[in-house]
Amino acid sequence: MNVHASDGYTTADGRQIGPVVMDLKNITLRFGGVEAIKNISFDIRQGEIRAIIGPNGAGKSSMLNVISGFYVPQEGEVWFKGYRRGPMKPYEVARLGIARTFQNIALFDGMSVLDNIMTGRLNRMKSGFLSQAIWWGAAEREEIENRAQVEKIIDFLEIQNIRKTPVGRLPYGLKKRVELARALAAEPQLLLLDEPMAGMNVEEKEDMSRFILDVNDEFGTTIALIEHDMGVVMDLSDRVVVMDYGRKIGDGTPDEVRSNQEVIDAYLGVAHD
Amino acid sequence: MTDRQSLSGEAQSVPALLARNMARFGDRPAYREKEFGIWQSWSWAQTADEVRALALGFLVLGLKPGDHVAVIGRNRPAHYWSMIAAQMCGAVPVPLYQDAVAEEMAYVLGHSGARFVICGDQEQVDKVLEVQGMPDAPQTIEQIIYTDKRGMRKYDHSRMNALADVQDEGRAAATRLGTELDARIAALDYDSTCVMLYTSGTTGKPKGVVLSNRNIIETSKNTAQFDHLTAREEVLAYLPMAWVGDFIFSVGQAMWSGFTVNCPEGAHTMMTDMREIGPTYFFAPPRVFEGQLTSVMIRMEDAGRFKKWLFDRYMKIARRVGPAILDGEQVGFGDRLAYGFGKLFVYGPLKNTLGYSRIRVGYTAGEAIGPEIFDFYRALGINLKQLYGQTEASVFISQQPDGQVHSDTVGVPSPGVELKIGDTGEVFYRSPGTFVEYYNNPDSTASTKDSEGWVATGDAGFFDENTGHLRIIDRAKDVGKMADGSMFAPKYVENKLKFYPNILEAVVLGNGRDYCTAMINIDLTAVGNWAERNNIAYASYQELAAHPQVYATIKSHVEEVNRSVAEDPMLSGCQIHRFLVLHKELDPDDGEMTRTRKVRRSVINEKFADLVTALYDGSSSIYTETEVTYEDGRKGHIKATLQIEDAQVFGEARQQKVAAE
C-alpha cells in the first residue's frame, strides 16, 4: 500500500481511498502560554476513516476543533478541498460539508429525536421566515423533502422506535446515536466524531462501530474520529495519527502504529503484558 | 390469471384465493407496511400484480415445481408475497426463524434442500453464506434474493439478486413466461403443498411439517366463520413468520376473508404501530399480555395520587362486572353506570394507549395465561379468548366461543375438529387441518398420526365436568411420577409461579425424586422497578437476582403457590420444598429455551446439573460457572454463588417431610 501516492490507495478490505480532502500543514495552537498542538502536519483522504489517538491531554480534541474550524491555529495552514481556509463562522463550516458529534452530548434534551435530527438540516432550508411561520408553499415542500431525508437516516441508524421520544429520556448510548444521526442529516463530506464510544458498554460499542463503518461504506463519507478504545480504533480506522503532549509521534496504518516503538512507550505502555 | 373457482366453486389454493380477492376487493387495502415513518399500502389489485411479477422473476431464475424456497426475515409484505409467489411456481415456501443462529439455520436449510433463499437483509444473507461455507453443508442453495439493499452493494452477485430487481425482470419476461406461470398456477389443487413449517423442536431436531392447501384453506374457512371474520378486519403481523400461527392469521385467514395485514416498522416499534393501526383481530402469546400488564402497573405506580386512585377505583369495578358485561350477562343498572364512567375515564384511554380500542376478537395461546392477567383484559372489555393448537393441526384444535370464556380451559373443539382423550390422558385430534406428513421422515409421521388420521398432541388433558371444555394439564411426557408414586406435573406449578409479575420463568424439578424443587428467573422489568422505588442499588441482573430482599419476595410467592397447590389432592406432592433464583435469564441463544420460548428441560437438567444436585443434597449455597452466548455468537462465562432457600409446604406434604426427617 502506498499511502503517499497523490491519487489515493486501496485498503486491505478493497475500498478505494481518494485524494487528500483535508491537509493540515505545520499546525501550532496556543492557549496563552500553553502549546496545545506543536507543529503537526497530516492529511485526511477522501473516503477513509482516520483516527486521532493519544493519552489524555495529548491535544486530540483541540486538533478536532482545528479541523472543524472552531479553533484557529496561530501557525500553520488548513487546506480543505484544495482551498486554504481562513477563520470561519460555524455555519460557514457546516456549509462546507463538515459535521461533527461531541464528546459530551450536545443535543436539545426537551426536543424529540426527530426534531433534533431535523436541526441537522437547518442550513438546507432556504424558505423565508414568514412562509415558515405559516408553513405554506416553499416551506411546506422543503420540510417534506427534509423530513424524507431524515427518515432515511432514522431507518439507517435503526432508531424508528424512538422517533418521537424526547432526547432527555433516552439512555446514553442512544443519545450518541441520535447525535450521529443529526450530524449525518447535514449530509457531510467530512464527519468528525469526538469519542463516539466513550462511556458505552460492549454491545453499544459494537453497534456504534457497525454504524460508523456503514456510514463510510454506504454514503462514502470521510470520517475523522478521536477514540480511547484501542480495539475499536485499530479495527475501524484505515490510518491513525498518534499524538502525545501536543506532538505527533506516529502516523500510519494501525499495524504500523502498533509496531512503532515511540507509540508503544508513550501510549500503550512499555510494561504491557 | 387462471381462476380455479370455476372448476370447483371455491378457490383451492392460496394463489387462487389471491385472484378471487383481486376480483372481489380490488382497491381495498391488502397489505400495509410502515416504512420511513409512513404507512405504505397495497390494494389487492396491486398485491396481485406484485406477487405475479415476483413469481415470473422466480421463473426467470429457474425455480422448478417441487423446489423449496426458504424465507428468512421479519414480517414484511414482500416476504408474504414471496411465499405466495413460490407456491404459484409450484414450489414450497419454507419460512425460517429470523433470529436463529447459522448452526440452527444450517439444519433446516439442509433438511429442506432449499434451492432459493429469500433473505430480509444483510444479516440474514451473511448467515446463509456462513451456512454455505460450513464444511459439511449440503450445497443446494442456488439463488439468494434479498429485500433490503443496504450494505449489499459489494457482495458477489453472480447468484444473488435484490427482490425488487427480480420483480423487474419478471415484469420484463411477462409475455415470454406468462403462459408457463398460468399453467403452473392451474396445476395447483387442494392437495398440493401450501407451506412447510418447521416445529420449534422442544425435543430433538426440528421436523418439517407439510401443510396442504386443504389444511390451510379449510382451517381458515372454518375458524373465520367461527369468529365471524370479515374483509374489514385489521391484523398486525408481528409474530415470527416461521410460526404456524402467523401463517394462518396473516396468510390463511387473511386470504380467505380478504382482510388487511399490517406490518410494523420493526420489532421495537410494534407497540406504537399497533396503536396507530388499532387491530380488530389480534393474537399474542401470554408473554405479550403479561409484559403489557406489567408495564401498565409499573407506570401506574409512578403516576400521581389522583390518577392512581381513579385507576384503582375503576379497575375494581371493571374486575367485578367487566367480564359479565362482555359475556352479555345480567348486570344491574348501577354497575352498568359505574362501568360506563370507568370506560370514559379509565378503560377507554387505557385501551387506546395499548392499541386495543377496536379489538373484536383477541386470542392467546402457546402457554397458560394467568387468571389475573386474563381477567384484567376482559374486564377492560377486550374480548380475549384462549385457543389450543399446534403446527401439525394448522393451529386450531380447540378454541373458546364468544361468551364461554374461562381462564383455565382452552374451549370447545374448533369447527371440523374431533377430539378424544387417550388411555394415558393424552389428547388426540382429527381435523381437516391435520398435516400431510413430516418432510422426509415417514417414521415420525407414522408415530404421530395413525392410519385413521388421529394425531397425538403430546399434551395431557381432560374435559372439564362443569363446562365441557378441554383443559390441558401439561406436556404428556413431562407429566411424571414422584418417588412415592404421586403425580408430577411441573408445568402446572410453573404456570402458577409465572403468574407473579416478579417471576419471568420457572423450572420445576422432581420427577422420580422425593420432593419438588424449582429454579426461578426474575423479571428484570418488574423487579428492577421495585428496586428503583426502594432505593436498592444493583449493577447487574446477577446482583439483583441474588439480593436477599428479592429472595424473600420470591420465597413468599413460592409459599403462596405451595398453599394453592396443596388444595388439589392429586397434585399436592408438587409443592416446592427448595428453590434458587438463577443468575442468568434462560435464553434461546444458549439452547435453554426454544425459539418460541418454551423451556427445554433436558438441556437445563444437563447444563445446570450442579445446581440440581445442590437443590437435592441439602447445601445452602452453590458456586457455579455457566456458559453464555452473546448476541454476536461469541461465548463467555458467568460465575456466581447461588443461595438455595427452603420454602414452607402445606397439607400432607408437610407431614411427609416431617416424617422423613
- Tell me if residue A271 falls in helix, strand or coil: coil
Residues sharing a CB contact under 8 Å with residue B243, sequence separation 6 or more, in sequence order: B97, B197, B200, B596
Name the DSSP class of B166. Answer: H
Q: Is A151 on the interface with B (CB under 8 A)?
A: yes
Question: B507 with B495: CB under 8 angstroms?
Answer: no
In this model, does residue A2 exceed pLDDT 60? no
Task: Quote the CA–CA distance of B503 and B526 in Å, as a whole number.
Answer: 9
Write down the pLDDT at residue B661: 45
E-only strand ranges, chain A: 9-10, 16-17, 20-31, 34-45, 49-53, 75-80, 83-84, 98-101, 190-194, 222-226, 239-244, 247-252
Q: Which residue has the cell 396503536?
A: B275
Fill in the DSSP letter of residue B235. E
Closest CA to B49 of B97, B1, B87, B112: B1
Distances from the Cα of B242 to the Cαs of A24, B256, B391, B560, in angstroms? 55, 20, 10, 38
- Please indicate if any CB of chain A lies within 8 Å of the CB of B305: no
Q: Kindly give, in sequence order, each residue whose CB lies less than 8 Å from that of residue A141, ignoring residues fewer than 6 positions away.
A: none
Does the CB of B631 have a partner CB in chain A at under 8 Å? yes
Direct distance between the N- and C-terminal alpha carbons of chain A, in angstroms, rounded to an integer: 30
CA distance B357 to B396: 26
Task: Report yes or no: B156 at the A interface, CB cutoff 8 Å.
Answer: no
Q: What is the ipTM of this complex?
A: 0.75
CB B363 within 8 A of CB B373: no
Whole-number average pLDDT of chain A:
86
- Closest among B470, B515, B475 to B492, alpha carbons compared: B475
Q: Looking at chain B from residue 268 to 287, which residues have their Cβ under 8 Å from any Cβ of chain A?
A: 268-269, 272
Distance in Å, alpha carbon of A49 to nearest chain B alpha carbon: 17
- Give the residue from A160, A169, A235 with the most B CB atoms within 10 Å of its CB, the best one to mutate: A160
Q: Is the CB of residue B633 less than 8 Å away from at least one CB of chain A?
A: no
CB B543 within 8 A of CB B640: no
Q: Which residue, among A145, A161, A164, A206, would best test binding to B if mutated, counting the most B CBs under 10 Å from its CB? A: A161
Inspect the interface and report whether the beta carbons of A160 and B269 lie closer than 8 Å.
Answer: yes
* Amino acid type, B219: T
Q: What is the C-alpha R_g of chain B? A: 26
pLDDT above 60 for A238: yes
The answer, for B304 touching chain A at a CB cutoff of 8 Å, is no
The whole-angstrom separation of Cα A40 and Cα B42 is 59
Residue of B nearest to A215 (CA): B151
The helix/strand/coil state of A5 is coil
Cβ pairs A/B, distance under 8 A = 35
| DSSP calls for B186-205 | HT--TTSEEEEEE---SSSS
Of chain B, the end-to-end C-alpha distance in Å amounts to 78
Question: Hey, what's the torsion of the CAs at B74, B75, B77, B83, to 10 degrees?
Answer: 80
Average pLDDT of adjacent 10-residue blocks, chain B of 661 residues: 46 93 93 92 96 96 95 95 96 93 88 94 93 83 93 89 96 95 94 91 79 94 93 93 93 94 90 92 89 85 89 90 85 89 90 91 84 87 91 92 85 92 87 92 88 88 84 79 82 84 89 90 89 88 91 92 82 88 88 81 88 89 86 80 88 55 45
User: Measured between alpha carbons, how far is B365 from B457 in angstroms, rounded to an integer?
Assistant: 15
Contacts of A161 in chain B (CB under 8 A): 265-266, 268-269, 272
Distance of residue B121 Cα from the nearest chain A Cα, in angstroms: 12
- Residue-level pLDDT at B201: 63
Name the residue facing B151 among A163, A206, A214 (closest C-beta).
A214
Cβ–Cβ gap B272/A161 under 8 Å: yes
Q: What is the nearest CA distance from A167 to chain B, expressed in angstroms?
A: 17
Kindly give the interhelix angle for B286-301 and B305-326, rounded to the nearest 10 degrees: 150
- The closest of B144, B90, B136, B89 to B114, measured between CA atoms, is B144
Closest CA–CA distance from residue A152 to any residue of chain B (Å): 6
Long-range contacts at B295-301 (CB < 8 A, ≥ 24 apart) = B295/B525, B296/B350, B296/B354, B297/B501, B298/B525, B298/B526, B298/B529, B301/B529, B301/B533
pLDDT at A273 (0 to 100): 44
Taking only Cα atoms into account, the Rg of chain A, rounded to an integer number of angstroms, comes to: 19
State whether residue B399 is helix, strand or coil: strand
Indicate the pairing of strand B260-263 with strand B234-236.
Answer: parallel
pLDDT digits (tens, 9 = 90+) for A169-210: 998 889 999 999 999 998 999 999 998 888 888 888 888 999
H or E stretch at B31: strand B29-35
Q: How many CA atoms lie within 13 A of B320 on its CB side?
A: 14
Cβ burial, residue B580 (10 Å; 0-12/13-18/19+): buried
Question: Which of B36, B38, B154, B269 would you mutate first to test chain A, the one with the most A CBs within 10 A?
Answer: B36
Q: Which three cell numbers stand for residue B79?
A: 416476504
Note whether A145 contacts B: Cβ–Cβ < 8 A. no
How many Å is the maximal CA-CA distance in chain A?
66
User: Which three-class secondary structure state does DSSP give residue B109?
Assistant: helix
Nearest to A44 by CA among A218, A241, A248: A241
Cβ contact B557:B497 at 8 Å: yes
The beta-carbon neighbor of B266 closest among A14, A151, A161 is A161
Test A214 with B36 for CB contact under 8 angstroms. Answer: no
What is the pLDDT at residue B212?
A: 95
User: d(Cα B574, Cα B653) in Å, to the nearest integer?
Assistant: 9
Task: Determine what percent of chain A is predicted with pLDDT higher than 70.
Answer: 95
What is the reported pLDDT for A3?
Answer: 45
Contacts of B406 (CB under 8 A, 6+ apart): B400, B464, B467, B469
Any idea which residue has 429470523 for its cell? B98
